[in-house]
Amino acid sequence: MSPTTQTTVGIGGAAESTDMVLNIGPQHPSTHGVLRLKLVLDGERIVRAEPVIGYMHRGAEKLFEARDYRQIIMLANRHDWLSAFSNELGVVLAVERMLGMEVPERAVWTRTLLAELNRVLNHLMFLGSYPLELGGITPVFYAFREREVLQNVMEEVSGGRMHYMFNRVGGLKEDLPAGWTTRARAAVAAVRSRMDVFDDLVLGNEIFRGRTRGVGALAPEAVHAYGVSGPIARGSGVDFDLRRDEPYLAYGELQDTLKVVTRSEGDCLARFEVLLAQTHNALDLADACLDRIAQLAPGPINQRLPKVLKAPEGHTYAWTENPLGINGYYLVSKGEKTPYRLKLRSASYNNIQALTELLPGTLVADMVAILGSMFFVVGDIDK
């Protein structure tokens, strides 16, 4: 047998004994941003896969060290641009833990409500874009219709459509507008009434099921090895959700409503089913939060802070169950008004590394189906 050589090619063929190195990205419609996949192919079958990251690296962790505890919220807000409220939440929880600060009950429940609305917004984007990547254009229009309904109430309360900047150390920026809870409840009901579009139009589609069932199966062992979390991990049968297993905010009181959905297959279809089930449950959690907020007596929405906020010397770690998985902040303070070190653990960074296990042995035609089912945001990888 003749020795195998490796040749990097752009367009065109090569000798039969040559492995082709194919670059998917960094500019490619299926990569959700500037992600590059370096694939080694044997014919149409993938032999090796290497995610090449860093094209969107912003140096946010270093910038944290030059911003005070109010300003770092803006930097934390932006790495997963589909989960901005949840990103803010993690960093303010870390600072509050360092300060030993108790947050008003009204702020706790409102934060929980807005985090679940943000979860629905995140999931709707992927519920629409994933079928689009497989050739189904219709679901994305429905997804954006539902997103607009929820974006309207999020914009009303915070002033922002994507980067809400509504969390503050000690609570939230301000109280809810008059009548907002009624409008929010109506928005949740409207979205829930139309979610069967994704149950029927997508999951009921034979072509979609044919492209995703049994494709890209991720073993639970690989989930643990790579630190995969969120819907992707639960799609492989890993039953872990911080909202249930280490409750924060008001999740400890929502255990009867919170449902952690898992699937055992670990394939693309299982990951999509988990994402869809989580969306349904997030709408139920939002309703439960609205019910509780209606019962609360009027009160403050935040704590009064000194003009210069300094965290005491020490370190802490705060993590949250973000829409895409576990988001964690390791905060080290020297007693100054800026963090000495703030390390961000983002969900997409770990999740995307599992592609080195998922892609080898599969066909190039299935690569887009597998990549889309990883539900990642490139800014969340590169930070």
Cβ-contact 99, 92 below 8 angstroms: no
Strands 18-24 vs 5-8: parallel, antiparallel or unpaired: parallel
% of the chain beyond a pLDDT of 90: 80
Cα separation, 263 vs 261, in Å, equals: 7
Q: What does the pLDDT look like over 68-97, one tens digit per residue?
A: 999 999 999 989 889 999 999 999 999 999
Cβ-contact 69, 269 below 8 angstroms: no
Q: What does the pLDDT look like over 160-202, one tens digit per residue?
A: 988 999 999 999 999 999 999 999 999 999 999 999 989 889 9
Q: Residue 382's pLDDT is what?
A: 85
How is domain 101-305+348-378 classified at the CATH fold level?
A: Cytochrome-c3 Hydrogenase; chain B (1.10.645)
% of the chain beyond a pLDDT of 70: 94
* Distance linking the first and last C-alpha atoms of the chain: 46
Segments of the chain assigned to CATH 1.10.645.10: 101-305+348-378
Q: Residue 350's pLDDT is what?
A: 94
Q: What does the pLDDT look like over 135-146, one tens digit per residue?
A: 889 999 999 999
- Band (253; pLDDT cuts 50, 70, 90): very high
> Encoding tokens for residue 197?
């579009």
Residue 28 has pLDDT above 80, yes or no: no
Cα separation, 289 vs 106, in Å, equals: 10
